[in-house]
């Protein structure tokens, strides 16, 4: 009976090790796009304040947001950026997808992000 119990410890160790390895792999794949999306959201808020203070045209705002996204390794097109003006407010909405490739299991997950902010015109 003692021999059967010893084998269970080895199986548990391998199971725990497997869970840790899978967790590290998933974290390594998921964390960079998530972090870039959160940083981009913060930068978009700042861009909205700047755009409202300087009264930029929609085309200028879109161009600057596309360049800003590139600096965070986010690939967007100008069609992904929406600029809406409501009275004294400017709303910026950016919708984009980031493919996460899990090459070990040959699977691609498309993660959808929406970054948005509202700013007042002429105010910093």
Tens of pLDDT along the chain (124 residues) come to: 455 555 567 778 888 888 898 889 888 888 999 999 999 999 999 888 887 777 788 899 999 999 999 999 999 999 999 999 888 888 999 999 999 888 878 889 999 999 999 887 765 5
Q: How far apart are CA 10 and CA 20, in angstroms?
A: 15
Q: How far apart are CA 75 and CA 86, in angstroms?
A: 28
Give the model's pLDDT for residue 11: 76
Going by C-alpha positions, the residue among 59, 56, 54, 66 that lies closest to residue 94 is: 66
Q: How far apart are CA 90 and CA 9, in angstroms?
A: 61
């Amino acid at each position: 009976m003692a021999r059967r119990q010893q084998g269970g410890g080895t199986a548990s160790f391998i199971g725990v090790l497997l869970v840790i390895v899978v967790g590290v792999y998933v974290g390594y794949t998921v964390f960079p796009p998530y972090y870039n999306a959160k940083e981009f959201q913060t930068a978009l808020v700042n861009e909205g304040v700047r755009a409202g203070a300087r009264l930029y045209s929609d085309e200028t705002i879109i161009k600057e947001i596309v360049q800003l996204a590139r600096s965070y390794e986010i690939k967007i097109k100008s069609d992904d950026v929406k600029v809406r003006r409501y009275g004294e407010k400017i709303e910026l909405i950016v919708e984009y997808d980031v493919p996460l490739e899990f090459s070990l299991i040959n699977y691609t997950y498309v993660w959808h992000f929406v970054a948005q902010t509202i700013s007042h015109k002429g105010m910093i």
